[in-house]
A and B are shown apart, each in its own frame.
Chain A
Amino acid sequence: MAVKAQLFITCLAEQFFPNVLKGMVGLLERLGVQVAFPDEQTCCGQPFFNSGYHAQARELAIKWLDVFGATDGFIVSPSGSCVDMVCHHFPELFPPGSPEHRRATEVGARTFEFTQFLVNQLKVTDVGARFPGKVTYHASCHLLRGLGAREEPKALLRGVGGLQLIPLPGEETCCGFGGVFSVIYPEVSRSMMEAKVQAIDSTGADVVVACDAGCIMNIAGGLRKAGSPVRAMHLIEVLTAGRAVS
């Protein structure tokens, strides 16, 4: 029986990086995964949870759990922070022992970030991709420390033909996005982002890869503002480069 994956597309990827999502569909299907898309899904509530608005986060979590709780198979998302929210913070929103808590725990157990799904569930690190050029990798905080995925994204990058992976100084240092932090303390966020952009430029890479839409919009915007020739891409874009989306 084919492995089934429900797409959890996340707000930021949907609004700003739809090609990442289309690429993810194509790639999962090439790997023999049966892909489904629960159309009623919206925000998981992370922005509210991280800003202290737990009542609102709880409402959104209940809706999200209604939508994905009714599905079967894996739930797969191109964003580490949204998966971290579902897996680790949804259960905190409900009292232990309550039906909601139980459901959050059950649904969380089958929810995976994309690189973890590929490497740890499907046991794939070579997806047959080719991307000639110098690439450096920025580790997104919640994927790295929230979900503990230090090696998975880099294993996938190493599986790409023609790709030269260059270490990024301060690879595991936050880029300064931080969700609501970026607009509450914009000056600090800017300084952190500029430091990240400088580090990226120092590698001489053509492309910087990350696995979270939040980091990418921050870093890509920063690179553009700095007039840097480096492109920021989601890992999925590298893994699907050169393949027409249809």
Chain B
Amino acid sequence: MSNVPTAIDFRANVQQVPSTMPAAVQKATTKFLGNRAALVDALGNDVWQALRQAGHDLRLHAISHLDHYLEQAERQVMAAGGQVHWARDADEARRIVLDISAKHRVKLSVKSKSMITEEIGLNHAMEASGIRVLETDLGEYIVQLKGMGPAHIVVPAFHLSTAEIAALFREKLGVDAPAEAQKLTQIARTKLREEFLAADLGISGGNFLVAETGTIVTVTNEGNGRMCCTIPPVHVAVVGIDKVVPDWNSLTVLLKLLARSATGQKLSCYTQFISGPPRTDAETGPKEFHLVLLDNGRSRILRTPETRETLLCIRCGACLNICPVYNTVGGYAYGYPISGPTGVIFASQILGAKAAGGLPFASTLCGACNDICPVKIPITDILLLLRRRVVEGDDLEGAAAPYLLRVGAQIGSVALGTAWLYRFGSQILKRLQAPFVREGWMSNLPGPLNRWTMARPFPAFAADFRRWWRRRAGR
């Protein structure tokens, strides 16, 4: 049982976006981008570009040798007294966490912010089994109260105003909540403190998994993550197999890239390194540590060289912040917990072209994401390849593009590629358009053409260059 999306209609989702969304999103993304730019300037562009290249190369090395590094990580985690579980898909991962919960008779679990548990719909599955799951990152806490998912992979509730959050707290928590950020945070903090102390299970994701020591690294800003991973008697970390990095030297590069790109910080306020349960009686912390390593389609992404770099992503959110489409529609329109350009290339491959074939087209290919990505993922190249997959299918799925559209494309390419037909067509269109043209523009075109004119008029066909050229050459 889960609430993981199985089919995504981006256009339909866009219609549901509240009109206040773009301004709220842009206010936050502008701030993040500004902070980021200041830190990149402080480093100097040359250093930044060298860091990006290093980040790209070491991530590519890691995912190209996944078997080696994952086995190394597994050995290290087990040597430290942790337990390692391999989950082929979302269903297996959910079952593993539910089994651990059942074994410990878990009634309440507290969660550190994690995109991977959103990806597998873990909260829903646990609640369906009668376990209370509480998000403890402030943003996640807020969207959970609202009954929604994250609107951004780094800042889940950034689209909500303090007034909206205050109203939500009054309604759901029954407290007197003023529309002041500090007071609201204090309310959440007080509520959460009781829950941390009562929880039977702590759940986290992992930003990185360091193979040489089997260390889970989580990058957070609120301290809640540290509470989740230290107070409850059992800790489960769900980590994608793509998150493994060879060693601590690699980690240093990636942490520099991540905090700067995500929130414009040199380092996040809390960076946790978790290497298994306590080894001596003097150490405190959860007595049991479980690492769930999730594939869920990642090895499918990995086997195609042209899309492999999708897995380099360190989920910093910079491509969301810079994307003009994301800034217009916000996160929910993507219909998947991971939104924006990186979400598009990930979700399209995880869900397949039949279910999410519209997503690779939810981009103008402007390329701003390529330039900002801290690990240099060629996002638009991958988008182009995924569009091709929609048209042609691959070895797992047939073509998802409607047959008529494919026939139309063939006819169109012949018309545009045959010189006489092309020239003839442009003159015919000049004649046919006459009844529609006013002052050089056509405002309301029929049928599918209104998809252009619903937004702005279409310019009149005016081709006369070839005749002009011939006349001029003949003089």
Contact = CB atoms under 8 A, between A and B. Distances in A.
A16 B422 contact: no
Given A42-B416, A42-B419, A191-B328, A176 B451 contact: no
B455 A63 contact: no
B456 interface: yes
A141 B365 contact: yes
B459 interface: yes
Contact of A22 (B11, B392, B465): B465
A145 B384 contact: no
B364 A18 contact: no
B64 to A, nearest CB: 20
Contact of B409 (A37, A53, A189): A53
Given A39-B466, A60-B416, A225-B457, A141 B361 contact: no
B363 A178 contact: yes
A146 interface: yes
Given A51-B391, A188-B325, A45 B441 contact: no
Nearest to B422: A42
Nearest to B390: A52
A180 B460 CA distance: 19
Nearest to B442: A221
B456 A174 contact: no
Contacts of A49: 384
Given A18-B465, A187-B11, A187-B15, A181 B361 contact: yes
Nearest to B399: A52
B403 interface: no
B426 interface: yes
Interface in B184-217: none
Interface stretch (B98-106, B255-263, B366-374): B366-374
A82 B186 CA distance: 55
A67 to B, nearest CB: 8
A133 interface: no
A184 B358 CA distance: 9
Interface in A100-155: 141-142, 145-146
Interface residues of B, number: 61
A225 B457 CA distance: 7
B388 interface: yes
A190 interface: yes
A56 B367 contact: no
Nearest to B441: A224
Given A50-B365, A174-B364, A193-B455, A188 B418 contact: no
Interface string A31-64: 0000001011111010011111111110110010
Given A9-B465, A14-B465, A37-B469, A185 B416 contact: no
B466 to A, nearest CB: 7
A218 B456 contact: yes
Given A40-B419, A60-B413, A221 B459 contact: yes
B324 A173 contact: yes
Interface in B456-475: 456-466, 468-469, 472
Contacts of A50: 365, 384, 387
B456 A221 contact: yes
A180 B452 CA distance: 10
B462 A18 contact: yes
Contact of B416 (A39, A40, A43, A221): A43
A174 B324 contact: yes
Interface of A: 9, 11, 14-18, 21-22, 25, 37, 39-43, 45, 48-57, 59-60, 63, 141-142, 145-146, 172-174, 176-193, 195, 217-218, 220-222, 224-225, 246
Interface of B: 10-11, 14-15, 22, 324-325, 328-329, 358, 360-368, 370-371, 384, 387-392, 401, 406, 409-410, 412-413, 416-419, 422, 426, 429, 441, 448, 451-452, 454-466, 468-469, 472
Q: Which 7 A-B pairs have the closest CB atoms?
A: A178-B364, A221-B456, A52-B387, A56-B413, A190-B455, A174-B366, A145-B367
Given A42-B417, A60-B416, A221-B441, 16 more contacts: A11-B416, A14-B465, A18-B463, A25-B469, A39-B419, A51-B387, A52-B401, A59-B413, A141-B367, A145-B371, A146-B367, A185-B10, A190-B455, A191-B328, A193-B455, A221-B456
19 contacts: A18-B468, A21-B465, A49-B384, A51-B387, A52-B384, A53-B409, A57-B413, A60-B413, A141-B364, A141-B366, A141-B367, A173-B368, A178-B365, A186-B451, A195-B22, A195-B328, A221-B456, A221-B458, A222-B455
